[in-house]
Structure 1
Amino acid sequence: MTDTGAAKPNIRQVAAIAGVSHMTVSRVLNDYPHIKEATRRRVLDVIEEMGYRPNMAARALATQRTQRIGVLVESAIEFGPTSTLRAVESAARAAGYAVSSIAVGDEDEISPQDAIDNLTGQGVDALCIVAPRSSSVAALRKTSMSVPVLVVKPDDDPTFLTVSVDQHQGTTLAVDHLVSLGHRDILHLSGPLDWLDARARERAFHARAKEWGIRERPIVVGDWSADFAYDFAKGLRGLPDYTAVFVGNDSMAVGLMHGLHDRGFHVPEDLSVVGFDDVPLAGHVVPPLTTVTQNFRALGTSVVDILRAAIERREIPKTTRIPAELVVRASSAAPRHGASTR
């Protein structure tokens, strides 16, 4: 039985058992470079064995850092932003940092500027903006920041650090897959184009379609919701000329397939459907959804690693891209009999 009244181990006790100075223990905790790996490992083993936990208040006083990252999340109800936030929180926790987050949605009274002011007012060491719209980046540019700022966005930025899953590569994989099956007339059902990820996917779609000589067709701009895509499919007057749909996210892809089913069309016999995100249910809808998967764990780790390097004034890349992958399932197949593949 654990003695809850026992004194907590302190840094000097850790140092004594590990056979190093308390400054060496501190450097290990703060992930300083130039420490011998054997020494680092020995100190970490003692820390784990003793159950030592650093005094965060004392560390903040000594380093003038709060060990806290502020995160502004656009529409945390969506899968991508929520998954990114969870991944950042997990990576931050493993690195000894806490996360303060604020979600800004369509119906919230708080503006991106108010959210940024709130987070910086908490004395965070760095700031991260997840899944931004143009408006939140514009608000960020108007703010004088005294801490490192990272934006999870698909394109480079002259002002901020950026990291993202490679939206251009993911879209290219989806288009190439459909073309390899024989499709030459593909509709793009996009997310709202004030979202930077949606805009990046739309631009990448048009660029790759042009390279393949695919018919230029106006896109349909959705709102990320399954209901929008369901209503779009139900509103079709007949089987369309296009033979495949590349959808901006999995929620809309599932709604589209539901609407096509209720309209009397079959996926993939009448229309192939490819989504984006690889949500947990994507492999369990009927038919299972072909989609682009985003490695949110790698994304969260990169966010925290880059911000820690910036906080510690170490050399860091201005832009980081995480590779995307295509997961091929049963919702995509060769074009229907008689459809043009020229």
Structure 2
Amino acid sequence: MSAQTVSRVVTGTDRVDEQTRERVQASMRELGYRPNRAARALRSARYRSIGVVMSDLTSYGSVRTWEAISRAGAASGYAVALVPTARFDRSAVAEAIERARDQAVDGLVIAIGDHLSAGEDLPLPDDLPVVVVDASALEDRSFVDTDQTMGAGQAVEHLLALGHRTVHHVAGPERSYSAVRREQGWRTALARAGCAPPPIERGDWSAQSGYDAGCRLRERPDVTAVFAANDQMALGVLRALHEANIPVPARVSVVGFDDMPEAAQFWPPLTSIHQEFDEVGRAAVDVLLAGLDDREAVRRLLVPTRLVVRDSTAHAPRKANT
């Protein structure tokens, strides 16, 4: 076989008949041949590798986002290198970006979910395509995220449609763009319905912080509906209400956000806002790869959410409406 024919088989082009392709692939298996990625990169100026910088690998949403990006990258024929950073400061993120660049990547996905992704605080490279995931205020960078505001609005509208006069909110940490977007969506939906937002409860995404918020909320007899910014905090709210013998949803309705698989196994099964993590991952990779050929284009994509209704929400108790 000529080197050109073998090259066509290795690169997967269609200009090789099936019999010849099978003979070349059989010889490759027999010889244990593997294409030299470095040599191919020198010829094509492409490394077939994506760097992913993430600041949080503990929350459900972050883990699912990473899984989705890695699967989408593999499906497109790209290796995906994870570079975590544990701190939320500019120098730590800059260091993580440099570590990713040292691994010879074609582009970067930045998923730090923090206010560092605003303005000039985040030192993003100009010589590589970059996609920011998990809510960004940057106007000149491509961006993919769940439509956080839409999801919060769906939660509030669902509860108001059940007759609840207002909806209390257990928000995520103020440094998180996702938490801020969800809080904004909660406020906007209440304002649209002519409802004044009640005092907010602040958590840190953990079930413990949701429990602490739930203990405070259960002391208020006017609370009939709670929207928690993620399912873990909603789980803590459910426990706090259960301990006080406050029935859910007969007395208080609860909605979460994420629709993690375990949400259907909570007691009662949790009504939640479903995020399409797989779609976010695919979109992030697609936008990044498109940026390899068109560096100037800025693509901004919000992936819709959907409400999943289970047994943790019901019509407002009559006493609350009299």
For the superposition of Structure 1 and Structure 2, which TM-score range results when normalised by the shorter chain? 0.7 to 0.9
Which residue pairs with 1:77 in the alignment?
58
Aligned equivalents of 2:164, 2:276: Cα separation in 1: 27
| 1:238 to partner: Cα distance | 2.8
Question: RMSD in angstroms over aligned alpha carbons?
Answer: 3.0
Aligned equivalents of 2:92, 2:117: Cα separation in 1: 8
Aligned equivalents of 1:57, 1:83: Cα separation in 2: 30
Aligned equivalents of 1:179, 1:334: Cα separation in 2: 9
**Is 1:267 aligned to 2:213, yes or no?**
no
Aligned equivalents of 2:99, 2:136: Cα separation in 1: 26
| 1:222 to partner: Cα distance | 0.8
Which residue pairs with 1:327 in the alignment?
308
Aligned residue runs from structure 1 range 285-296, under 5 A? 285-296=266-277
Which residue pairs with 1:129 in the alignment?
110
Which residue pairs with 1:189 in the alignment?
170
Aligned equivalents of 1:328, 1:208: Cα separation in 2: 18
Letter in 2 for 1:225: S
TM-score (normalizing by structure 1): 0.82
Which residue pairs with 2:202 in the alignment?
221
**Is 1:244 aligned to 2:225, yes or no?**
yes
Letter in 1 for 2:116: S
Aligned equivalents of 2:25, 2:124: Cα separation in 1: 44
Number of aligned positions between the proteins: 314
Query: Secondary structure in 1 aligned to 2:307?
Result: strand
| 1:125 to partner: Cα distance | 1.1
Aligned equivalents of 1:147, 1:303: Cα separation in 2: 15
Which residue pairs with 1:284 in the alignment?
265
Q: Provide, for residues 101-120 of structure 1, a one-character-per-residue CA deviation record: whole Å limited to 9, x for no partner.
A: 12223599982121112112
Which residue pairs with 1:165 in the alignment?
146
Query: Secondary structure in 2 aligned to 1:267?
Result: coil
Query: Secondary structure in 1 aligned to 2:174?
Result: coil
**Is 1:337 aligned to 2:318, yes or no?**
yes
Aligned equivalents of 1:129, 1:170: Cα separation in 2: 22
Distance 1:219-1:310 versus aligned 2 partners, 3 A rule: same
| 1:122 to partner: Cα distance | 2.2
Q: Provide, for residues 224-262 of structure 1, a one-character-per-residue CA deviation record: whole Å limited to 9, x for no partner.
A: 000011122234563431210111000000111011111
Give the conservation status (yes or no) of the 8 Å contact 1:233–1:263. no
| 1:158 to partner: Cα distance | 1.5
Identity %: 36
Which residue pairs with 2:31 in the alignment?
none
Q: Provide, for residues 73-100 of structure 1, a one-character-per-residue CA deviation record: whole Å limited to 9, x for no partner.
A: 1211011111011110011011111111
Give the conservation status (yes or no) of the 8 Å contact 2:254–2:271. yes
